[in-house]
Each structure stands twice: as structure tokens, then as C-alpha cells.
Structure 1
Amino acid sequence: MTNIKVIIPAYNEADSIASVIKDIPKMVSEVVVVNNNSTDHTARNARGAGATVLTESRMGYGYACLKGINYISQQSKLPDIIVFMDGDYSDYPEELSKVVRPIIENNVDLVIGARTKDLREEGSMTPQQVFGNKLATTLMKWFLGASFTDLGPFRAIKYDKLLALDMEDKTYGWTVEMQLKVLRKGFVYAEVPVRYKKRIGVSKVSGTLKGTIFAGVKILSWIFKYSLK
């Protein structure tokens, strides 16, 4: 049986985190919520829903993901697949089985849950998110021959391939770094269309001008860094 673990970085997601955890399919052996310096009851609610809760006081999406990976690496029984998803309930956690299927059945290394337009709830992605995704994936196509259409955070990757990527970004560049390194190493990747809805609460990235600008700069920096290698 395939051993699947989920890592959910979470910052002030008290209103949504329990719903996310409860909708994750039973095929998952452990849900790890990394409480990224929340000031609300994110940790308490996640623990109450059955998740393992870690604390990462250094603010940043990448910091939280790395904390989760480090925790899993210490376990005696290592997973086959790691799934990343957000804690804001914008994804449909029950679609995890669809996201991991290409890995289990077709030996794909990385699968991105692509938030295609026809499956997105109206207003679930801000105009700057849509533009940023389009720009980033277009640049990766031009410079690196990639066929990605999204930088979606709902994604699955083989555990051994994840370790081989030697991930390092601590903040907003995490998702694009993973995709760029997969391209550079020649790993097999695929996308599957997933539904997407308006998140619970306010986005900490696209919901602020500072977050939007910082995320955009980090994403473009990673793309140009790898394009010039």
C-alpha cells in the first residue's frame, strides 16, 4: 500500500483548517500541519481534527514546508508520496486521490493540481494571481520548454524525488523552485485539473500589495536564475 503524507503550511487558518483536514481521503497515513506563527487557534483546531501539529516561528511558506519535510525525514517509516496543500479550504482535499493517481499508476514524479479556468469558482483567484501564473508558466515554456500551466500549491511528489531537489526557498518562491528543479533534473511531471473555490479568510499573499509584489519578484527571480544556467 502506498504511504502518503500531507504537509499543510498554515498561518491564521483557524476558521478553515479543520474542514481541510476532515476532507482529506483516508488513504493518507498522516496529515502534518505546520503552524507558521499563527496568532489564532490554528494549532488547536488542527490538532482537534486529527493532524500532527508542528510549530515554525520563522514566517514564510517555504520555512513551513521545510519544517514538515524535516519532521517526516526523522520517521522510521518514510512515505512514498508527499502532498502539499493550503490550509485555507480553497482546494478540494477530496481530490487528493486524483492528484496522486499519476504517480501511483504511471510512475510520474511530480503532479500539479492545475486550477483550470472552467473549474475555478468565479473570484477564487485574483487578477494578479491569474496574470502571475500565466507570466511565470509562459516564461518557463519559452526558456525551459516546460508545459506547466499553473503554479498551484496543491501538488504531489515522490518523497525520494523531493529530497533530491534539495529545496531551499523560504518564502513565496517555493512552488516555482520545485517546478524549475524538476525541469532541470529531467523528472517526469504532469498536471491534473482540479476545482478551486474562494478561500476562507483573507489571503496573506495576493490579498496584500506587499505580498503580491514580493511573491512576483521571488517567482521571476527563480525563473531567470534557472534560465541563465
Structure 2
Amino acid sequence: MITQCDPTQASVDVVLPCLDEAEALPWVLDRLPPGYRAVVADNGSRDGSARVARERGAVVVDVPRRGYGAAVRGGLLAAGAEVVCVCDADGSLDPAQLPGLVAELTAGRADLVLGRRRPTSPRAWPPHARLGNAVVAQRLRRRGVPVHDLGPMRAARREALLGLPIADGRFGYPLELLLRAGQAGWRIIETDVDYRPRVGRSKVTGTPLGTARAVRDMTAALARLR
């Protein structure tokens, strides 16, 4: 079980956007490395996620505005460490791998480090979701952003992240983050991380139709931000 620490003593804060992840949270929180403080941004959970997180020592912030981007921003505002990570709370990503991302950042090799997902089994990343991600990543590379994955695990400096003019409060947030970071001249690199089958059903790309809608929305966002 993690122990809650004072924000001035945490070396890294880990923002965990959360919507009904009570089943996955114990494993996720228990995998946090020493010195990494969990900031669970609860986005209206009805399954007791906030209670589970508090019982395991996490800081919990209530984010009433629905949407992934809104939850991430709420967590960043509640964080206190200079270095912050963002990680899904559904058990698909292992927080124990976060130090690999943070090391690239603190060594001065990057301003934004993304976890490039490597599936641990065929069930971890359905073909339709993987294809949709590849399509959007290719369009980002055409815009000069050197990524192959819109990775939901990332590390950066908190103040720099909050300084980016990101307007999307929903699932277009990762795309706009990368575009804004690229426009600001950030050095962006990727490092491989394991990608496991998530606990429960995806709220974005759980079905081919959901993936198609996500690709459509992100393509529209690319056009708006050109």
C-alpha cells in the first residue's frame, strides 16, 4: 500500500484521470515507485473509486467537468511536484515503469517523454484501436511531431504543461498536447512501455465504432489547429 506524502516532499506527482476504476486502482496505486505521489482526478465515478484511492493514501481531487482533458488539468492543478507524470488508472499501464520516462526528462534529453505502448498480449490492444492510433500518429508526424503513439503515459515539467494553451477538455487532449508542445519547440521522445489488457471496458476505443469516432474527432481537431 502506498503512503501519502506531503506535496513538498514528493519527487514526482502522478496524475491518474479516473472514471469508475475502483477495480483497477489497488493494483495501479500499489505499483507506484517510492517518492511518487498519486493524484487521482476523479471525473464523476459512481463505483467508489474515490474511496478506494483515499484508502490507499492517494490525494483525490474531484473534477466535476466531464472529460479526459478536464480530469488531467484538474490533476495537474492539484499536483505540487516540479515533475509530473500522467498515467491511465485502468491497469493497462504499469506505474512501476514511470522512472524510465522521468530519467529521460531529468537528464535533459527531452521536454516531454511519452510511453510508446508495446502490447503484452493480443487482447491488450485491439486491431481497430491500434490502427486508429497509427493513423492519427502518422498525421502528427506530417505536422512535424515525431511520435508513433498518442501514449497515455507521459512525463513533463508541471509548470510547462500548464503553460501550454490546450483548450480540449475531452478525448482530443492528448492530440492537442502534442501539437502545442511541437509548436512550442519542445523536444519530444518516446520510450517503450508494456501495455496490458485493461480492467473493464474502454470508454473511448472499446469498439470499432468508438475508434472511428475518436479518429474522426482527432482529425477534425488537427484541421482546427492547423
- Does the 8 A contact of 1:136 with 1:223 survive in 2? no
Matched position secondary structure for 2:16: strand
Match of 1:79 in 2: 81
Moved more, 154-163 or 87-96: 154-163
Q: How do 1:1-229 residues align onto structure 2 when only pairs under 5 Å count?
A: 3-28=11-36, 30-72=37-79, 78-116=80-118, 119-142=119-142, 144-208=143-207, 211-226=210-225, 228=226
Letter in 2 for 1:217: R
- Does the 8 A contact of 2:63 with 2:70 survive in 1? yes
Matched position secondary structure for 2:107: helix
Flag structure 1 segments of 5+ consecutive residues without an equivalent.
73-77
Partners of 1:82 and 1:166 in 2: how far apart?
A: 18
Letter in 1 for 2:103: R
Of all paired residues, the percent bearing the same amino acid is 30
Deviations 1:161-195 (A, max 9, x none): 20221322111101111111111111111100001
- Does the 8 A contact of 2:50 with 2:60 survive in 1? yes
Deviations 1:63-98 (A, max 9, x none): 1112112223xxxxx422110001101001100111
The structure in which a higher percent of residues are helix is 1
Task: For residue 141 of structure 1, report the CA deviation from its aligned partner.
Answer: 1.6
Task: For residue 120 of structure 1, report the CA deviation from its aligned partner.
Answer: 3.3
Partners of 1:99 and 1:185 in 2: how far apart?
A: 20
Partners of 1:177 and 1:151 in 2: how far apart?
A: 10
Matched position secondary structure for 1:194: strand
Partners of 2:69 and 2:209 in 1: how far apart?
A: 17
- Does the 8 A contact of 1:2 with 1:80 survive in 2? no
C-alpha RMSD of matched pairs (Å): 1.8
Query: What is the aligned length?
Result: 218
Matched position secondary structure for 2:84: strand
